[in-house]
Structure formats: structure tokens, C-alpha cells
Amino acid sequence: MKIQESAENYLETILMLGQKKGNVRSIDIANELDFKKPSVSVAMKNLRENGYIKVDENGFITLTASGRQIAETMYERHLLLSQWLINLGVDEKIAVEDACKMEHVISPESFEAIKKHAAQK
């Protein structure tokens, strides 16, 4: 199932915050993305209802298996595409911004080709 780019970004952010902080709450996501708390709350409700996250009684958010799979895919793409662009001579700030856009639209086939090519360097 194809999910929206914004949902992919939320899942990736939950993954990254979880790696940094351990526990993740909606306020952490709002602060990280510089979004308003009500917007994040609506997004978390949608992600929970679609089975991508779980929220416990203390408000801590964890990824389900399907949520983690999407988050890890986006994160891998982000890291590789950012580094690839930097290695091509693109300014780091621009490379990270462009990778953030590219990671959502690139096909698995094209990404694997770039990944294979980058590994040969």
C-alpha cells in the first residue's frame, strides 16, 4: 500500500527520534519537525488507525512492523541519497534537502541501481 509522503516523513522522524532519545512522544515530533501539536496529533491518530504506530497509556509512540519497514526504507534512502549528492559535489544543506524530496518518489529499482553504483566507488 502506498502511503502519503507526509506519513513517510512522520514514520522516519519517529525512527530517528527513537534512536536518539529512546522514547518518543507527539511533542518530540512537533518540536523536531517544527509543526504545531494539533497537526501532529491528527497525524498520529491516522498512523495509529492505519496500523503503522502504537501509542501506549503514557503517550509513548512506537513503530509497528509495517511502520518500521517504511521508516527504515525512507531513512536508508535519505542517508544514501544525501551522501551520494554530497560526493557529487552538491553543498551538504542542498543535498540533504534534495534527498528528502527524492526519497519519496524514487522507484525501488532506481534506488537499488544508485545504491549499487555508490557501493562501487
Cβ neighbours of residue 44 under 8 Å, at least 6 residues apart? 10, 26, 29, 53, 55, 61
Could you give the percent of the chain with pLDDT greater than 70? 98
Q: Residue 47's pLDDT is what?
A: 96
Question: Would you call 70 exposed, middle or buried from its count of C-beta atoms within 10 A (0-12, 13-18, 19+)?
Answer: buried
For the chain, domain boundaries: 5-69, 74-120
**CATH code linked to domain 5-69:** 1.10.10.10
Average pLDDT on 82-91 reads 95
Average pLDDT on 28-36 reads 95
**CATH code linked to domain 74-120:** 1.10.60.10
pLDDT confidence bin for 1, thresholds 50/70/90: very low
Collapsing DSSP to helix, strand or coil, 61 comes out as: strand
Conformational region of residue 51, where left means phi above 0, alpha means psi within -120 to 50, and beta covers everything else: left
- Residue with grid cell 518540536, as numbered in its chain: 31
| Interval 96-106: pLDDT, tens | 999 999 999 99
Q: Residue 60's pLDDT is what?
A: 96
Q: Do 5-69 and 74-120 agree at the fold level?
A: no
pLDDT of 85 over the 70 cut: yes
As a three-state string, the secondary structure of 2-22 is CCCHHHHHHHHHHHHHHHHHC
